[in-house]
Amino acid sequence: MSKRASGVGVNIHVFTLLFVTLVWGATFPVLKAATAHLSGVEVSALRFLIAAACMVPFVLRVPRRTWVDGGLLGALVLLSYVLQAFGLQFISSNRSAFLTSLNVLMVPLLGVVFGTRLTLSVLGAATLACSGIGLMSWEGGANLWADAATVFGALAYALYVILLSQRAGRHAPRQLAATQIVWMALLGTLWMLVDAWRTDKLQTLPGRLDLSVLAGLAYLGIVATAGMLFLQAMAQRHVSADKAALVYAMEPVFAAMFAWMWLAEVLTWTAALGGAMVVVAVVLSELKAAPCPLPR
């Protein structure tokens, strides 16, 4: 049962998703650095292989229906990550963050198809969040194919958020996370092998894996994938899809904060205002008298 603070209805599981988003905030610069040496498919396949190695103890005696749901969810995440990584080869991390954040609007709109009631408060908060991220991240440097791939990646992730909220309660969080990751590793490796067919990509792969790339892949695989998918599967048992999507809109806010603190990047007043708008949107979506029912 969700723990709630008296009077304001603060869901403790929302803070778990905020922590997940905090960790994800550091993935954009890591991905940007990795895709300077590896293709988007290679980055995704290798991070999932590392994550799968961490989850091996949890795939024993997993029910068949968990493998089925894990396969569907894993395929959507894999598609989302590969498309995002492909886009990052040609557009900036800020632009990628903005386009990825469009899933905040996609989730409540797609939720109507899955039987979820669309409320003005949710739609307003999602619009406010996207507007804030637009102030933070929008810039020039458009690339048609990279932009399109990133938007389709956002669509795949929006579907993932909806289905995860529907199905997370049916499975043990560790088993659901483990099956997702194993499926992503298998499908990602197959995709990488097909992509490398009749090229020298596999032969040159070891030479492109320097220490910095390996460190980045370790963070992406162990922390950002294995650890955070487990927390995500656990928390979204208690958080509706539209609210979870709003929490995930904090990802570029955290990314900008880390860049300002650790990389001495300039944080403009416009970007700060955009970040504040996202925070307000998330808070407004949470301060309600009763939790929004999960779609079934």
Tell me the domain boundaries of the chain: 12-196+208-286
The pLDDT, as a whole number, for residue 260 is 67
Q: What is the pLDDT of residue 291?
A: 41
Q: Is the pLDDT of residue 214 over 70?
A: yes
Q: Of residues 189 and 5, which shows the higher confidence score?
A: 189
Distances in Å between the Cα of 174 and the Cα atoms of 41, 182, 226 are 25, 12, 10
Amino acid, single-letter form, for residue 35: T
Predicted confidence band at 265 (pLDDT cuts at 50, 70, 90)?
low
CA angle 108, 109, 114 (to 5 degrees): 80
Give the number of other CB atoms < 10 A from CB of residue 9. 14
Let me know if 242 is exposed, middle or buried by CB neighbors in 10 A (0-12, 13-18, 19+).
Answer: buried
Q: What is the pLDDT of residue 6?
A: 39
Torsion 37-40-45-50 (CA) sign: positive
- Of the listed ranges 86-95, 163-172, 220-229, the one predicted with least confidence: 86-95
- Give the Å distances, CA to CA, from 289 to 44, 101, 110, 156, 208: 40, 27, 25, 31, 53
Tell me how crowded residue 101 is: count the other CB atoms within 10 A of its CB: 27
Interhelix angle 173-195/40-55, nearest 10 degrees: 140
Tell me the C-alpha to C-alpha distance, in Å, between residue 160 and each of 99, 136, 141, 157.
17, 25, 28, 5
Distance CA 103, CA 163 (A): 14
Task: Specify the pLDDT at position 292.
Answer: 41
Confidence of residue 267 (pLDDT cuts 50, 70, 90): low
Tokens at residue 245, please?
Answer: 């999507």
Calpha distance 31→217 (Å, rounded) = 9
Q: How far is CA 151 from CA 44, 76, 83, 135, 251, in A?
A: 17, 14, 8, 18, 16
Going 237 to 179 to 75 to 138, the CA torsion angle's sign is positive
Work out the average pLDDT over 150-173: 88
DSSP 126-164: HHHHHHHHHHHH--S---HHHHHHHHHHHHHHHHHHHHH
CA separation for the pair 99, 87 (Å, rounded): 10
Query: In which region does residue 141 sit, left (phi positive, over 0), alpha (psi from -120 to 50) or beta (all else)?
Result: left
In this structure, are residues 50 and 218 in contact, taking their beta carbons and an 8 Å threshold?
yes
Of the pLDDT bands very low, low, confident and very high (cuts 50, 70, 90), residue 7 is very low
Mean pLDDT of the chain: 79
Please state which of the ranges 42-51, 143-152, 287-296 shows the lowest mean pLDDT: 287-296
Range 204-211 average pLDDT:
90
* Residue 1 banded pLDDT, cuts 50, 70, 90: very low
Whether residue 113 is predicted with pLDDT greater than 50 in this model: the reply is: yes
CA distances from 24 to 132, 164, 171, 181 (A): 18, 18, 24, 16
Indicate the pLDDT class of residue 140, thresholds 50, 70 and 90: low
